[in-house]
Amino acid sequence: MMESDKELSAMVQELWEKDVNRLQPGKDYRISLQGKAGDAANNNMDDSDGAGSPLFTFVDENIFKKETFLAFISLLDNYESDTGVPEIVTPEEEAENHKFLETIIQSPTMKTAHKYLVGKRLSPEDPTEFKKQLYTIWFELYARRGSSRPDSSGFEHVFVGETRGGRTVIGFHNWIQLYLQEKLGHVDYKGYSVNAKSPQPDENKHILALQFSWKDGFKPKGSIFIGVSPEFEFALYTLCFLSSPNERVKVQFSYYDVEIVCHHYNQKHIGTTYPVLLKYQKPT
């Protein structure tokens, strides 16, 4: 491991330990992995279904009453999913974005990330200025590839999901959105994904590679954290975006060796970011 990765790993471990709102597998939520998804080489969702039932069999929705979850969920219906369709941000939606940021910067995980970023001179110490920085990174609109008008943001892509041409799902790396959309009947889980490099998934791991359809679109392979809080993901991805020029950074925390993919867009915005599980050290 590179020296910087060790330092970042120590920070991610601290974020993990301070994620007081993280759900416990088997207790606060249960998932059903079922079968392995097909390779979906032709993006044919009908040929690759390895799961006849939903991914989530139970989630204790009391967690959604917590302040950070409430603020996060309020943002999920603010977006046009198809790229190329310009986003119109209403004053109410902008207020919800600011409320979300105000809520999460009070969380232990975000306070930890902020302190580290200030120490590295990567973020302003003043909370109002820090919020402005976060707003630019996550909520400022930009034109995604193939579009001439502002139709996307880091938050929409990563946490809500988008469709390209109505048929291909891009982004969509958040378990809360996945659960809520599955509950509404908009998501059809197709099974888990594995390759030679990835460990076999199980119901107790907090990271899962999977395949699913959403509305009329198809995601042949995606990777998400499961059961973590919105503030943990927001803190982790912001940390990686600001502290590493590399678009892939390896970190070790808890029982996980993870590669965090984080693409920069115009150096100011997050293009996409998600976890890839490389190794899992089972607790003894």
Catalytic residue among 219, 250, 264, 269: 219
Active site residue 219: yes
Q: Is the pLDDT of residue 21 over 50?
A: yes
Q: Print burial letters for 30-48: b (CB count within 10 Å at least 16), e (below 16).
A: ebebbebbbebeeeebeeb
* Model confidence pLDDT, tens digit, residues 186-206: 999 999 888 766 778 888 899
Other C-beta atoms within 10 Å of 90: how many? Answer: 9
**Terminus-to-terminus CA distance in the chain, angstroms?**
24
Tell me how long the chain is. Answer: 284
Asked if residue 45 has pLDDT above 80, the reply is no
**pLDDT the model gives residue 198:** 72
**How does pLDDT run across 89-110, given as a tens digit for each residue?**
677 878 888 999 999 999 999 9
- What is the average pLDDT across 27-34? 93
206 catalytic? Reply is no
Higher pLDDT, 274 or 168: 274
Q: Region 52-66: what's the mean pLDDT?
A: 94
Q: Is the pLDDT of residue 44 over 60?
A: no
Catalytic site residue from 18, 157, 206, 269: 157
To the query of whether residue 264 is one of the catalytic residues in this protein, the response is no
Catalytic residue among 18, 114, 173, 205: 173
Spatial neighbors of 60 by CB under 8 A, at least 6 apart, are 23, 27, 28, 29
Q: What confidence category does residue 156 fall into, taking pLDDT thresholds of 50, 70 and 90?
A: confident
- In this prediction, residue 2 carries a pLDDT of 41
CA 173 remoteness from chain centre: 4
Q: Please state which of the ranges 10-14, 130-134, 151-155 shows the lowest mean pLDDT.
A: 151-155
- Compute the mean pLDDT over every residue in the chain, rounded to the nearest whole number: 86
Phi and psi torsions of 188, nearest 5°: -120, 110
The pLDDT of residue 31: 95
* Cα–Cα distance, 198 to 256 (Å, whole number): 12
Whole-angstrom Cα distance, residue 95 to residue 103? 12
Residue whose C-alpha is closest to residue 175's, from 19, 23, 278: 23
User: What CA–CA distance (Å, rounded) separates 14 from 146?
Assistant: 39
pLDDT tens-digit series, residues 213-272: 998 889 999 999 999 999 999 999 999 999 887 788 999 999 999 999 998 887 788 989
Q: What are the structural domain ranges in the chain? A: 3-280
